[in-house]
């Protein structure tokens, strides 16, 4: 096994890992990101870029280039129930330069972050590199072992950032166990072609399902939300019911469902998981993003919270690493302390406050979700729902060192 040393190893090149890598490298910290896949191509992995993330791109001086990536913009989240339509969240009212959600393929976002990070000499991304276990000594994490295209690698570092997602192997290797909440639903994802200028309400509720329609320009990205654990039942009901349910939501959709959704192979199941670590760290290790807290897809907040974690981690740990020290337990705990409140607040909203927005069984109709009823009664609240989703509590800022961003950049 080949052994190397660096200041920080980030395991996982998702939104949390790539942002952490970029921000540390901008501060002049030597950092290696290990990503087990050879590219960033992943379908239905969440493509929502919220105002909070757009503002970070502005702070980094990258916003103009970032917004040149293909994307569509959503300013209102509307909910259509049998009781009527409600504009549940209106981003145009939250102020600031980015009053919308940008829908942008996640691989484009990750490619962009990787390209920017590679301009810093201290940054290295190794793809097709899977971290298999932590290197530990006396309860302290000293690095990771990984399989790489060049053979087995032991990478020692002053800190390991586990950003390896909701099934984090690094978290397990450290003996950290998340507390799991009852996830309120599962989701079936699929695409359907879109006619030019076709409009659909963002969220429909009906008998036994909720349909979310995301405008991706040439196609609709559809989320057919079903009761938790109901996938087998849904399959047993037949693909015809899925086609009919979606067909009833908009004119012409039925025919397209027949043509384009030929079998269950055209549909991808997301088993929703909502969990949270009690302690996000061990000496020498910090978990961020989904590795610390898997979110429900409600509100499309997963990516954005992962990015916010990365910003807090880089702002707090960057100066410590740059000063040549290994982050202490207190440093690692500062990151958790900073980020735990927003995560708890969002999970609370996803699991409890929106609970009656999700179908309980395949017969029940979601008629009048409380949250939608409240906003219907007091429409001015849709500014605050948009703020909570798009910006949220404790919105992070890049910090002076990463903002300056001049540490050895090339290109
Ligand atoms: C189907 C689906 C749809 C979703 N929809 C949305 C949405 O619309 N909006 C939204 O905001 N969120 C959505 N999410 C959630 C969102 O994708 C996550 O919250 C977000 O990606 C978390 O970012 P992360 O960087 O923490 O983890 P991830 O994005 O999971 O990234 C982890 C990375 O680590 C890599 N990795 C894992 N193990 C190892 C290892 N051992 N060694 C090296 N690399 C490793 C993985 O390949 C991956 O690239 C969705 C999730 C899924 C699964």
Q: What is the pLDDT of residues 217-270, one digit of tens each?
A: 899 999 999 998 999 999 999 999 999 999 999 999 999 999 999 999 999 999
Amino acid 408: pLDDT = 60
Angstrom distance (rounded) from CA 55 to CA 303: 14
* CA distances from residue 76 to 73, 100, 203 in whole angstroms, order as listed: 9, 8, 11
Superfamily of 2-69+104-181+273-353 according to CATH: FAD/NAD(P)-binding domain (3.50.50.60)
Residue 110 CB coordination number (10 Å): 22
Q: Which of 271, 290, 298 to mutate to test the pocket of ligand 1 (most atoms within 8 A of CB)?
A: 290
* Summary mean pLDDT of the chain: 92
359 Cα to the center of ligand 1, angstroms: 25
CA distance 53 to 305: 9
Residue whose C-alpha is closest to residue 97's, from 66, 155, 54: 54
pLDDT of residue 265: 96
Q: What is the pLDDT of residue 404?
A: 72
Q: Which of 27-41, 207-221, 298-312, 327-341 has the least mean pLDDT?
A: 207-221
Which 3 state secondary structure label does DSSP give 10? strand
Query: Which pLDDT band holds residue 364 (cuts at 50, 70, 90)?
Result: confident
- In the numeric block, which tokens belong to residue 169? 């192997």
| Contact (CB, 8 A) for 155 and 146 | yes
| Statement: residue 81 has pLDDT above 90 | no
* pLDDT at residue 405 in the model: 63
Distance CA 155, CA 129 (A): 11
- Specify the pTM: 0.93
Compute the distance between CA of residue 22 and CA of residue 316 in angstroms, rounded to an integer.
14
Half-sphere exposure of 182 (CA within 13 A, CB side): 8
Dihedral over Cα of 125, 131, 136, 141: its sign: positive
Q: Is residue 409's pLDDT more than 90?
A: no
The protein residue with its alpha carbon nearest to ligand 1, atom 34, reads 12
Grade residue 184 by pLDDT with cuts at 50, 70 and 90: confident
Strands 285-287 and 281-282: antiparallel
> From the CA atom positions of the chain, what is the Rg in Å?
22
In angstroms, the CA 44 to CA 224 distance is 13
Phi, psi at residue 333, to the nearest 5°? -65, -30
Residue 13 CA to ligand 1 centre (angstroms): 9
* Domain map (residue ranges) of the chain: 2-69+104-181+273-353, 185-270
> What is the mean pLDDT of the segment spanning 356-378?
82
Q: What does each C-alpha distance from 117 to 22, 106, 161 come to in angstroms? A: 5, 16, 16
Ligand 1 midpoint to CA 197 (Å): 31
Which pLDDT value is given to residue 207?
87
58 has pLDDT over 70: yes
């Amino acid at each position: 096994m080949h052994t190397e040393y660096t200041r920080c190893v980030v395991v996982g090149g998702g939104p949390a890992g790539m942002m952490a890598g970029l921000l540390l490298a901008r501060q002049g910290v030597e950092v290696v990101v290990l990503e087990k896949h050879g590219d960033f191509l992943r379908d239905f992995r969440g493509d929502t870029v919220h105002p909070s993330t757009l503002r970070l791109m502005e702070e980094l001086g990258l916003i103009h280039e970032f917004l040149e990536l293909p994307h569509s913009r959503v300013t209102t989240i509307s909910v259509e129930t049998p009781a009527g339509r409600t504009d549940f969240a209106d981003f145009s009212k939250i102020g600031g330069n980015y009053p919308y959600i940008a829908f942008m393929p996640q691989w484009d976002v990750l490619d962009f972050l990787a390209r920017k990070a590679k301009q810093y000499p201290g940054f290295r991304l190794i793809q097709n590199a899977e971290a298999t276990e932590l290197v530990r000594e006396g309860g302290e994490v000293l690095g990771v072992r990984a399989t790489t295209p060049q053979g087995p690698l032991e990478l020692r570092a002053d800190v390991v950032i586990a950003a390896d997602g909701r099934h984090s192997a690094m978290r397990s290797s450290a003996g950290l166990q998340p507390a799991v909440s009852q996830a309120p639903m599962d989701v079936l994802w699929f695409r359907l072609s879109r006619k030019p200028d076709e409009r659909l309400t963002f969220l429909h509720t009906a008998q036994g399902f909720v349909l979310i329609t995301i405008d991706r320009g040439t196609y609709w990205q559809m989320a057919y939300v079903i009761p938790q654990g109901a996938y087998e039942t849904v399959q047993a009901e037949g693909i015809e019911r899925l086609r009919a349910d979606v067909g009833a939501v908009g004119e012409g959709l039925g025919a397209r469902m027949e043509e384009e959704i030929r079998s269950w192979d055209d549909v991808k199941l997301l088993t929703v998981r909502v969990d949270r670590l009690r302690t996000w760290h061990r000496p020498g290790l910090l978990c961020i993003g989904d590795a610390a807290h898997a979110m429900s897809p409600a509100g499309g907040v997963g990516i954005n919270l992962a990015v916010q974690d990365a910003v807090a981690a880089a702002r707090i740990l960057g100066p410590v690493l740059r000063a040549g020290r290994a982050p202490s337990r207190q440093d690692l705990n500062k990151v958790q302390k900073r980020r735990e409140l927003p995560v708890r607040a969002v999970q609370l909203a996803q699991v409890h406050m929106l609970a009656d927005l999700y179908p309980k069984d395949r017969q029940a109709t979601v008629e009048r979700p409380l949250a939608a009823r409240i906003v219907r009664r007091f429409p001015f609240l849709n500014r605050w729902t948009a703020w909570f989703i798009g910006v949220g509590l404790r919105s992070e800022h890049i910090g002076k060192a990463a903002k300056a961003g001049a540490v050895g950049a090339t290109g």
